[in-house]
Structure 1
Amino acid sequence: MGAMRMLGWGVLLLSTACGASRTAVTKAEPGTGGSGMVSDEAAVASTTRRYVDEDLGFEIIRPTAEWQLDETNERTPEGLAIPVILRHRVTGAQVVLQVAPGVATPVQFAERLTQGLRQQPGFTTTDPQPIALSDNAVGFDFQVGEGVRGKVAVREGNSGRVLMMLATWPTEATAGITESVDALMAGVRPLPEPSVAVRSTPRTP
């Protein structure tokens, strides 16, 4: 039952405007040194566009600085976290990241989201299809009337979580925005699971 309530939140986020979020505080990882000013600048740009949330176990690497990251730290009673919203400064595109407990597989989440959106006035969607983000990632495209297009990507997180990315952009946005959205979604990844050291049993002489 909790899964359906969480999916309802996903539909709500897609069918209504997201609430205000507080200004982003980008968590930059320290970069490694390089030789020459050009490589140093590239390293700084790469690290300042990297955001890490160790509590929820994911990282985001923004493809360009045009993507503004805002932290929201919202969480629903069902355990669905909405940690960040990313907005494209030029086109008005928006990507909402949701982190859900793994009460369903990515395929099941995508199928139920599709069913829920098709019940909303003005929404049309494609069928969920496998996408290249990971072995079990799925996604679908949707349209809201004539003014808004978007896509959803669902992939596994770590520690039994699921990452859901909900993107929207104005229909009149430039053709390159879909490639930028795809690049941003590809930059949302689960952090590696903590390794557990295995102690070897001493051999019997």
Structure 2
Amino acid sequence: MVAMRNWVWGLLALTTACSGSRQAVQDEGTGGSGSSPAVEDSSAESRSTTRRYVDEDLGFEIIRPTADWQLDETNERTPEGLAIPVILRHAVSGAQVVLQVAPAVASPTQFAERLTEGLRQHPGFTTSDPAPIPLSDTAVGFDFQVGDGVHGKVAVREGIPGRVLMMLATWPAQAAEDVPRSVDALIQGVRPLAGPATAWRLPQR
């Protein structure tokens, strides 16, 4: 469980760093983990409402609910095997979602429970108890707050075999009421690839 403990505290550091960030990032058509990730615009009409990002190496896709969510590829990896491939930022509100892909050394429930314990030990953090969420049969999530200024939530679900997907979302406490709903919609759009990765590869131009 050493890797899991390092994962928890690495996430905690990211939470603190990300809670105040409001940097806007320009979308890119290709890049990411290895040579396979891509961003797809399904049509000219849908560019303002739907964007798809695919990472074949880590086995996940992201469908953004609106173009207001800007995607920043980080390609970070830790010695423990934790990947932090992307951060998504909502430029208007300052909300953001950090995606982490971890080795499946525990179930989503165990990850969420351990993470909750770690956050509660950090000054200023309060959390709800982990509970099932309707992302999948095994998905678990909880809400948290950092002082009076930052609200957030964590969602953990299974990825492709051998991996777990974890989404850490934060937004300013004074954000508009529709911001948490937009965060939920984005989290629902993060999921493991359902079939052979090659089925999602975009034509090279």
**What range is the shorter-chain TM-score in?**
0.7 to 0.9
User: Aligned pair count?
Assistant: 186
* Alpha-carbon distance, 1:24 to partner: 4.1
The residue that corresponds to 2:141 in the other structure is 139
The correspondence of residues 72-151 of structure 1 with structure 2, limited to 5 A, is 72-151=74-153
- Tell me, yes or no, if structure 1 residue 160 matches structure 2 residue 162: yes
Determine which of 48, 62, 69 is the counterpart of 1:67: 69
- Give the secondary-structure state (helix, strand or coil) at the position aligned to 2:28: coil
* Alpha-carbon distance, 1:11 to partner: 1.6
Deviation sequence 1:132-153 (CA, Å, 0-9, x none): 0111000000001000000000
The residue that corresponds to 1:200 in the other structure is none
Larger Rg belongs to = 1
Determine which of 193, 196, 204 is the counterpart of 1:194: 196
How far, CA to CA, are the matches of 1:122 and 1:30 in structure 2? Answer: 40
Q: Which moved more, 1:19-28 or 1:134-143?
A: 19-28
TM-score, normalised by the number of residues in structure 2:
0.84
- Give the secondary-structure state (helix, strand or coil) at the position aligned to 2:18: coil
RMSD: 2.1
Q: Would the alpha carbon gap of residues 13 and 176 (structure 1) be closer, same or farther in structure 2, given more than 3 Å must change? A: same
Aligned sequence identity (%): 65
The residue that corresponds to 1:28 in the other structure is 39
How far, CA to CA, are the matches of 1:125 and 1:171 in structure 2? Answer: 15
How far, CA to CA, are the matches of 1:118 and 1:41 in structure 2? Answer: 45
- Give the secondary-structure state (helix, strand or coil) at the position aligned to 2:89: strand
TM-score, normalised by the number of residues in structure 1:
0.84
Q: Would the alpha carbon gap of residues 170 and 101 (structure 1) be closer, same or farther in structure 2, given more than 3 Å must change? A: same
* Alpha-carbon distance, 1:5 to partner: 1.2
Unaligned runs of 5+ in 2: 30-37, 198-205
Deviation sequence 1:148-203 (CA, Å, 0-9, x none): 000000000002100000000000000000100000000001002439xxxxxxxx
